[in-house]
Each structure stands twice: as structure tokens, then as C-alpha cells.
Amino acid sequence: MWENPIFLLPGPTQVPPRVLRAMSAPMVNHRGPKFKELLDECIPGIQKIFQTKNDICLLTSSGTGGMEAAVANFIGRGEKAIVVSVGSFGYRFKAICDKYGVEAELMDFTWGTAADPQKVKERLQQDKNHEIKAILIQHNETSTAVLNDIEAISKAKGNHPALLIVDAISGLAAADLQTDNWGIDVVIAGAQKAFMIPPGLAMVSVSDRAWEAAEKINSQSLYFDLKAYKEFLQKGQTPYTPAISLVFGLKEALNIMLEEGLENIFKRHILYRDMVRQGVKALGLDLFVADDIASPAVTAVKAPEGIPAGEITRIMREDYNVVLAGGQQHLKDKIFRIGHLGYVQPMEIIAALAALELTLEKLGFKVTRGAAVTVAEKVLKERRD
Ligand SMILES: Cc1ncc(COP(=O)(O)O)c(C=O)c1O
């Protein structure tokens, strides 16, 4: 009966009605003036959200396509790179590097911790001949709900000439990421996260240094050859037929984001993070990551002893129409994840916490009904007053 669940995934996220309406516009010629106008309006908006003056490549692909484009264009076959991993999406960067013949060294941090900038610094200091061409890292590791300190990683890199390539697919527009101020060469974002549009677009920002590297490399991919995207952008086009409806949606989503303003967006996500974390703690549940590295986009909660996380997410969905995510790989059934990025209202978080109380009670875990809701309301009230 209910068409809309309370949808708290860490992507895809809810799409605002304004964006849905914008996406229902009739088709335009992607080689004509209307699409050029649309793209010309979108690019400066994307640059504001990325906090950059760098070129933006708009790809019709999921986020992984953006990651693949970064590897295919900026690191040559046989060249060395470091993949700084704190979870499953770090492994994805490594898998892409392996496919493209990049000699990627995995710096593997324990899941649930953040990347240690000191370790990155020490590794780069050993690289006297500057053989390492790129450092690849996640901004927000969605699988573990950890926010890496990208500014500190950039400082740790110092003057080492390696490119800094950041997968900000689930972090951008949820947590601060200052592409230009922090000297990030390549940033990848995805549509279906804090950008609040359906899946199918990836955005990649490219610094001059990265373009210089690309000039020396024969891109190993045709579809993801970013030089073609740069060239076509001058004409207000993309090299191949773009997901036009999603670009209509993107324009409206950018309007919404810029009306709210980046500072307010970040504050709102921090509010949600704190409501969820404090609410969950009030129920006696343990969080998967420490407060100082906790993501403002998603929260990972440990399932209580003896209760599989999958049972919690199943009852939440079946009994209360609340959609949450489970754990990935070895964290399956160990954690569940509450996404709170993008088009989420505070009262949806309160409702989800209420449903969590009832779900845990049904599963035989002793809770004080109302405990999570009361604490989350307190956090909300304090920030609003
Ligand atoms: C941090 C991160 N990187 C990469 C991806 C992969 O993106 P996609 O599923 O859009 O290919 C995701 C998706 O959840 C993600 O959260």
C-alpha cells in the first residue's frame, strides 16, 4: 500500500520530487543547442560542489565507471600506484588497477579504522625515485562508514609528485572535500548518493597535473577516454549519448544543493550522523567506528550478539517499511548500515529509530522503548535552538 518506504540506504538515495519532475522533460538533441545550454548550466554547479576550478567530465556510468576512468587515463600500464584501502571500495580500486596492468600496492587498513596519513607519508618518503605515480583513496568508505581525512593525506603526500585520486562517490556533498585547496588531482562522484539523482551518472574532476599525466598515457579505454570528454565539453556535448533525463535531474539537484549552500549541507549531515549515533547508543548497541572518524553520510551499527544483522534489516523492511543496508563481505550479518545522506528529513531518522526499537524488541533484545527517539530528538532540538 505505501508507495514510499523510509529509504535510508547509503545509495541509491531518495530523489526529491523537484528532481523527479525535472527528469520528466521531453528529450532534446544531445548534439543540439538545448543540451549545450543544459551542460553549460550544470558544469559550474558541479564545480561549486566539488570546490574546484578543474575540468569536469560527466560520464554516463555508475560510480565505478568514474573510478575506472581515473585508472585508465592517469596511470599507465606497468606504472606503480598505492591503493590506500579501508574497506571494500578500496579493494575495488585495487581490482581496477589489476585489470589495467597498473602495479598497485595495497596499503590495507583494518576495516573500521581510517587511513593513517603518517604511514602514507613514510611509504612515499621511501620512494626516492618517484616511481609511485598515483595514490588512490576513498573519501568516505561506504562499506565501513569511515570518513578518511583527505586533507591530512594530501599533506602527508607533501611534494611527492604522485597524483592524488579520490573516490568521493559517497562522500561528496555530504562531507567537506576541498578539491583545489587540498590539492586533489582527480575526484570522482556519483549521482545516486548526496547528489540525490537516480544512479547512472559519474562526475570526474581533473587537475592540470592529471591532464599532463594523461597526455603521456594512451588511454586503455575507449568509452572512458577522458580526453574525448574534455574535447566534447568545449562543444557542450559528451562523446557518446548521455543519460539526458538524468542530466535534467542533475541540474535541478544542483539548484537544490546551491540554494541550501554547502556549509548548511555539511551541518545537516553532521546533525543526522549525531542523531543516529547517539540514538543507537541509547539502545545499548555498539557502533562499528569511533566518533572521530564517523561518516556523516552513513552509520554502521554492530548487530547484538546472537542476532544476525540481516534479520534486523528484514524486519525493519517487512514490518515497518524502513529500508536499511546490510554489511558487505565479512561484515555481512555483523553490521547494518543506516544511510543518512542526501534528501533525508530529520523526522525520517526519528521514525527509523522508533522502528529499530520495535524490531530489536521483536528479536528479543531488551530495549527501553523510546530511548533512541528521545536522545535523537534532544540532539535535533539542541541544534535547532
Ligand atoms: C565509496 C564508493 N565507491 C564506489 C562505489 C561504486 O559505485 P557504483 O555502485 O555507482 O558503481 C560506491 C557505491 O556504493 C561507493 O560508495
- Confidence bin at 2 (pLDDT 50/70/90): confident
pLDDT score recorded for residue 208: 98
d(CA 6, CA 247): 26
Inform me whether the pLDDT recorded for 134 exceeds 90: yes
pLDDT band at 385 (very low <50, low <70, confident <90, very high): confident
Q: Give 218's pLDDT tier (boundaries 50, 70, 90).
A: confident
Query: Tens digits of per-residue pLDDT, 4-50?
Result: 999 999 999 999 999 999 999 999 999 999 999 999 999 999 999 99
pLDDT attached to residue 317 = 98
- Domain residue ranges of the chain, discontinuous segments joined by +: 6-10+261-384, 17-259
Q: Can you give the pLDDT at residue 220?
A: 87
Residue 182: phi and psi, rounded to 5, are: -95, 5
Q: What is the mean pLDDT of residues 286-311?
A: 98
Residue 12: partners with Cβ closer than 8 Å, 6 or more residues away: 192, 193, 198, 199
Task: Give the position of cell 547512472.
Answer: 200
What average pLDDT score do residues 232-257 get? 98
Domain 17-259 top-level CATH class:
alpha beta
User: Which residue in the block uniquely carries the three cell numbers 535547532?
Assistant: 384
Atom of ligand 1 nearest to the CA of 11: 14
CATH code for residues 6-10+261-384: 3.90.1150.10
Supply φ then ψ for residue 112, to 5 degrees.
105, -10
Q: Do domains 6-10+261-384 and 17-259 have the same CATH topology?
A: no
Q: Residue of the nearest CA to atom 2 in ligand 1?
A: 169
Ligand 1 centroid to 298 CA: how many Å?
13
- Return the residue matching grid coordinates 563481505: 329
**What's the gap in Å between 193 CA and the centre of ligand 1?**
9
Give the nearest ligand 1 atom to 65 CA: 11
User: For a pocket test of ligand 1, which of 169, 298, 328 has the largest count of ligand atoms closer than 8 A to its C-beta?
Assistant: 169
- In our burial notation (b when 16+ CB lie closer than 10 A, e otherwise), range 62-99 reads bbbbbbbbbbbbbbbeebbbbbbbbbbbbebbbbbbee
Which residues lie with the beta carbon below 6 Å from any ligand 1 atom?
Answer: 11, 62-64, 89, 138, 140, 142, 167, 169-170, 190, 199
Q: What pLDDT, on a 0 to 100 scale, did the predictor assign at position 358?
A: 98
What is the pLDDT of the chain when averaged over all its residues? 98
Structure confidence at residue 66 as a pLDDT band (50, 70, 90): very high
State mean pLDDT over 171-187: 98
Mean pLDDT of all residues in 158-172: 98
Q: Is the pLDDT of residue 230 over 90?
A: yes
pLDDT at residue 1 in the model: 78
